[in-house]
Structure 1
């Protein structure tokens, strides 16, 4: 009897870990109004955008994050510990790794390449970079 209860308990724990990333179904993001990109590239082409264009990129990135990333990476990119805390992605740090993980998936993350366009992925990265700035200001009081 004890063995059955223990086995059931362990199975429940491991089943929870397997489904911890939630039910993620990649969805397209409306990129109307963003500067068009002809290829994926290896670094964020939107990082230095300014004015209304930057505002549109960040708005699109926030919306795209909410549609595709929030279930695993948390509200406002604050992870609950299962997936990486994306606020800690320093602007410019390994853009190629970021884009490869989003496109191809891996380490428990699904591939988003078939559903999302380069514009939406780089817009999400641009929005995440604003979260880094906020996190550093909060941490260091700047």
Structure 2
């Protein structure tokens, strides 16, 4: 009877482990990119991709970008851009990495024939991508204990 109990206990533990692992595999949920409403932001030129964030410090863009980030990026890059190790911690991307950011978001990231990040060009508008970048700029400032007022001044100055 003791062997049977141990066997059943082992089967139960294995079953629990499989249920847990299958739940973890599905934890990212729906991976279909979600639409981003950028109404109210200055429209960017069609077909002409910018290499610098035109919305840096724009509070409305940051708000739109926060929501868009949560819907499209957080499942891999972490809530509030705090990476859990699956993908890079985007708070480390300072303003000098705008061209790097837009290139990766537009084209995605592939290595050895595997897709690590899907390409969002054709799915998200340039306006939406830069709004997400505006949110990441804010998180970068917070992460590095920089003065947010200086970030917001950049939008007011038009720089």
Alignment partner of 1:127 is 2:149: no
TM-score by length of 2: 0.67
Higher strand share: 2
Does the alignment pair 1:44 with 2:53?
A: yes
Provide the rounded CA distance (Å) in 2 between the counterparts of 1:128 and 1:111.
18
Q: 1:97 aligns with which of 91, 96, 100?
A: 100
Counterpart CA distance in 2 for 1:85 and 1:20 is: 22
Deviation at 1:32, TM superposition (A): 0.4
Aligned length: 117
For residue 4 of structure 1, what is the aligned residue in structure 2?
A: none
* Corresponding position: 1:136 with 2:139: no
2:59 and 2:97 map into 1 onto residues whose CA distance is: 23
Superposed displacement of residue 20, structure 1: 9.4
CA positional deviation for 1:79: 0.3
* Structure 1 residue 119, shift from structure 2 partner: 0.6
How big is the alpha-carbon RMSD for the aligned residues of Structure 1 and Structure 2?
Answer: 2.3
Gaps of 5+ in 2: 1-17, 111-115, 147-159
Q: 1:34 aligns with which of 29, 34, 41?
A: 41
In 1, the alpha carbon distance for the partners of 2:26 and 2:137 equals 25
Q: Give the TM-score taking structure 1 as reference length.
A: 0.74
Q: Aligned pair 1:113/2:121, yes or no?
A: yes
Deviation at 1:94, TM superposition (A): 2.2
Contact 1:21 1:72 in 2 (8 A): no
Unaligned runs of 5+ residues in structure 1 are 1-11
